[in-house]
Structure 1
Amino acid sequence: MKTLSNPRMAGLDSEGSPIEGFGETVLTPDEQQALLEARTVIRGEPAQRRESYDYLLTKGIADCDGCAYDLAGGRVHAEAAPGYRCLPPTEHRPSCGAIRMDADRLETAVAEQVLADMLRPGRHEELLRLQRDAGEEAERLARHIDGAEARFAALKAVRDQMLPDAFKAAEKATKNDVAAARTRLRFLQQIISVPLSDPHDVVAWWNAAPRASQRALILLSVTKVHVLASGSGRGHDPHKRIRIDWRNS
């Protein structure tokens, strides 16, 4: 069982990234993870608690350059460092499962490019404009949320004139609308809080900024981060494994 716990049995290197051209493997990465967990139980060892990790580039920010499926955060096994991967394909998931990259390498490379992008001529002014647009949208959403009580009252006033199912559907839609508006407002508030007055100050701010604020700056600057396969020597330089679509409007 110890031999099977070697990452190469699943075609992975020591960082949990697929080895290009490795060929047929004994196990899939998921099967090896299940094996490691079973080994812990058999040996009577307490399950090692995984340290929680707040992934910076999940929720649609980063995808697999090969199949365009969004990357997920996870670990190859309990002792492994956090990483990103393209999930294995299933009947309902058109992913390829071929991309894997250490979280520290990917997130650092993206952050460096985002911060460097702010220093390009004209880019700072463009980001300030996007931030002002976010502020205006936040004001509109705040007014929309404040008016929710009046909309609920108006809906209840005509309840007797509606079919029960129609009223329930309208009430649910109104609640969902308010919930979505609040989620969007929280995101916009994170963007507004980024100190863009001097782009050089943002570098110092980044190192101590909350994760949500860092993510907001990335989303202000980027529409998508594409992660490439590690072949052709690209694995040595994380910057050569990413391709960024920059936000212009």
Structure 2
Amino acid sequence: MPRLYGFEDMAYRRVRESEAEGIRAAASRRLLKQPYPAITEWMNAEGYRTTRGGLWKPDVLANVLDHPAIAGLEEDENRNLVETGGPAIIPREDFEAIRAMRPVHDPDKQRAPQREYLIPGLMGTCGLCTTSLGSSPSNRGSRGYRCAPSTAQHPGGCGKVRINADLLETYVAEHVLAELAKPDVSALIGQARDELLAQAALLRKEAAAARRRQKKLGVDYGRSPDMSLKAFRAADKELTQLIRESETKARLLEQVKHVPVGDIPDLVRWWKHAPMRAKKGVLVLMLEKVAVYPAASRGSRTVDADRVALHWRQWGAEAEELSA
């Protein structure tokens, strides 16, 4: 894990002034709404180099100016900016102003809305190899789910499963709504939702704790001559994986907050007009996994229990596992 440009150490306590002046200059230009390509061109011409000694690229500089540490800040587990007591290379107000200029905050630069898919990535899996299904439109443009073949960048997929999204989503929705219509199930919806949100909160805390351990690991590596680079990288990789897995699962479970609680007289009508985030929340609440298998014959549009296996969530089981 390379050090952050502008700092001598991984704890962001000692400023490297020769680099800090470059950050201040870049920040000043960005506050004047100069585009990143122009800023990096200027920095390279002035002789500024990255921590690895390379030329600056727009995305690399954008990441540096988006790092809270350059303003003596960090993000807590709720993504709020809090002061660390560390040195600030640029003022907080300048940092927040630069953050506000990110494309996500600019209505004119936001991406065009993408076609929505109902089944979340972690939930849809290939029945043959268990790899998560990805969204993949067909050659004709219709929405679809697919197990992508294994590549060097994305290893693991078998590439043998593809299914039309409309057919799969209709099948899943029919079975979920039928289950929700059962009185003994609908009576527990509120309790189950709170249970999953509590699990998500625990996962967020787990990820935050891992981030703190990762930060301490960087400090220890910088101070201790006994820790080898190999050992540091192995521990850092393990913590990164833990953080990624915890936050990914937390984001999945947090979707249940959009599930309505209370009596819904006509579930089918509600589903037809419900926003996608509420539908996804219902799926997360009810299902752990949707496993899809190959079609019986090429071009088959039949979707049944032989093609799709629904794994229903056992409320209470995951909470016990997390608290164990």
Query: TM-score scaled by structure 1?
Result: 0.57
CA distance in 1, matches of 2:236, 2:282: 35
* Pairing 1:162-173 to 2, within 5 Å after superposition: 162-165=226-229, 166-173=231-238
Equivalent residue number for residue 136 of structure 1: 198
Deviation at 1:245, TM superposition (A): 2.8
User: Residue type matched to 2:145 in 1?
Assistant: Y
Equivalent residue number for residue 193 of structure 1: 258
Equivalent residue number for residue 219 of structure 1: 284
Deviation at 1:87, TM superposition (A): 6.0
* Pairing 1:1-249 to 2, within 5 Å after superposition: 52-57=114-119, 59=121, 61-63=123-125, 71-77=133-139, 79-85=140-146, 95=158, 97=160, 100-147=162-209, 150-152=212-214, 154-156=216-218, 158-159=220-221, 160-161=223-224, 162-165=226-229, 166-200=231-265, 204=270, 207-211=273-277, 213-227=278-292, 238=303, 242-249=308-315
Deviation at 1:187, TM superposition (A): 2.0
- Residue 53 of structure 1 aligns to a residue in which SS? coil
Q: Deviations over 1:141-162 (max 9, x none)?
A: 3434454564355435533334
CA distance in 2, matches of 1:185, 1:136: 10
Closer, same or farther in 2 for the Cα pair 1:231/1:216, shift >3 Å?
same
- Residue 158 of structure 1 aligns to a residue in which SS? helix
Closer, same or farther in 2 for the Cα pair 1:80/1:120, shift >3 Å?
same
Unaligned runs of 5+ in 1: 1-50
- Identity of counterpart residues, as a percentage? 28
Deviation at 1:184, TM superposition (A): 2.6
Deviation at 1:63, TM superposition (A): 4.9
Q: Which structure has the larger Rg over C-alpha atoms?
A: 2
Q: Deviations over 1:36-69 (max 9, x none)?
A: xxxxxxxxxxxxxxx9533333635345667877
CA distance in 2, matches of 1:145, 1:69: 23
Q: Deviations over 1:127-182 (max 9, x none)?
A: 44432221222232343445456435543553333413223433343344333333
Closer, same or farther in 2 for the Cα pair 1:173/1:243, shift >3 Å?
closer
Q: Is the 8 A contact 1:66 1:96 kept in 2?
A: no
Q: Is the 8 A contact 2:289 2:312 kept in 1?
A: yes
- Residue 122 of structure 1 aligns to a residue in which SS? helix
CA distance in 2, matches of 1:139, 1:93: 30
CA distance in 2, matches of 1:149, 1:237: 46
Q: Is the 8 A contact 1:225 1:243 kept in 2?
A: yes
Q: Is the 8 A contact 2:126 2:291 kept in 1?
A: yes
CA distance in 2, matches of 1:126, 1:242: 26
Q: Is the 8 A contact 1:84 1:103 kept in 2?
A: yes
Closer, same or farther in 2 for the Cα pair 1:206/1:154, shift >3 Å?
farther
CA distance in 1, matches of 2:130, 2:218: 45
- Residue 220 of structure 1 aligns to a residue in which SS? helix
RMSD: 4.2
CA distance in 2, matches of 1:62, 1:149: 28
